């Protein structure tokens, strides 16, 4: 079979106030992520997506070629947000402890602002076509390595005790990633508050230091 190729990202337009305005493709991604979260990826049709975006189905194919392509864009948008936030702060003077908190904050905050993206990213990566799956897997590895580097730095500087950095990194993700199953934006704690609780548990554990 011929190799699948991804379409280039749609151009963004500039609004009258000089800010970058969302493109129609951005709207397709956002509406699709919401539908996939509410109905499930397999139960959502291109007709459903076209209706949510407010276009006819033939018009939708002007912006995306398939549901597979939409799935890829959702994955890429989510992981790129995590990577860009982490890489921007690596040049700052933040301590390893603060950097770990920010990593956890990113993941939890995106459950509030990009709920559909989060569910798709964690539940539907196996549905990505081979080439797209490899591309996202590479970005996942890049992000995981960046987080592991923060923990390694904390160990090297004495902020963290000597640990298996790989397992510590997986523990951090394990604490945060599953929260999308139960976190609700209208719940008693905001995402940042949940991140603080998780951060304290990761760094200090459950043991009472006064015992």
Q: How far apart are CA 91 and CA 93, in angstroms?
A: 7
How high is the pLDDT of residue 22?
Answer: 54
Fold of the domain built from segment(s) 67-204: Tetracycline Repressor; domain 2 (1.10.357)
How high is the pLDDT of residue 18?
Answer: 43
- Phi–psi pair at 80, nearest 5 degrees: -65, -35
Q: How far apart are CA 192 and CA 121, in angstroms?
A: 20
How high is the pLDDT of residue 16?
Answer: 38
What residue spans define the domains of the chain? 67-204
How high is the pLDDT of residue 92?
Answer: 87
Bridge partners (DSSP) of residue 20 are 14
Task: Copy the structure tokens of residue 94.
Answer: 């933040």
Residue by residue, DSSP assigns 30-79 as: HHHHHHHHHH-TTT--HHHHHHHHTS-HHHHTTT-S-HHHHHHHHHHHHH
| Nearest to 96, CA basis, from 164, 166, 148 | 148
Task: Give average pLDDT by consecutive 10-residue segment, the chain, 211 residues.
Answer: 41 39 82 94 95 94 92 96 93 93 96 93 92 96 96 97 97 95 91 96 88 71
Q: How far apart are CA 75 and CA 137, in angstroms?
A: 10
Q: How far apart are CA 151 and CA 11, in angstroms?
A: 37
């Amino acid at each position: 079979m011929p190799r699948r190729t991804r379409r280039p990202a749609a151009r963004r337009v500039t609004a009258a106030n000089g800010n970058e305005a969302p493109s129609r493709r951005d709207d397709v991604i956002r509406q699709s992520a919401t539908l996939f979260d509410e109905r499930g990826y397999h139960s959502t049709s291109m007709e459903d997506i076209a209706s949510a975006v407010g276009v006819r189905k033939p018009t939708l194919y002007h912006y995306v070629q398939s549901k597979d392509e939409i799935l890829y864009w959702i994955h890429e948008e989510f992981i790129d947000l995590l990577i860009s936030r982490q890489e921007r702060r690596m040049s700052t003077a933040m301590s390893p402890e603060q950097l770990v908190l920010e990593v956890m904050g990113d993941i939890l905050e995106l459950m509030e602002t990009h709920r559909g993206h989060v569910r798709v990213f964690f539940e539907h990566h196996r549905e990505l076509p081979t080439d797209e799956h490899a591309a996202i897997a590479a970005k996942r590895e890049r992000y995981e390595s960046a987080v592991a580097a923060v923990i390694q730095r904390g160990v090297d500087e004495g902020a963290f005790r000597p640990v298996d950095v790989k397992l510590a990194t997986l523990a951090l993700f394990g604490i945060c990633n599953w929260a999308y199953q139960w976190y609700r934006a209208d719940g008693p704690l905001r995402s940042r508050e949940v991140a603080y609780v998780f951060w304290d548990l990761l760094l200090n554990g459950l043991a009472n230091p006064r015992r």
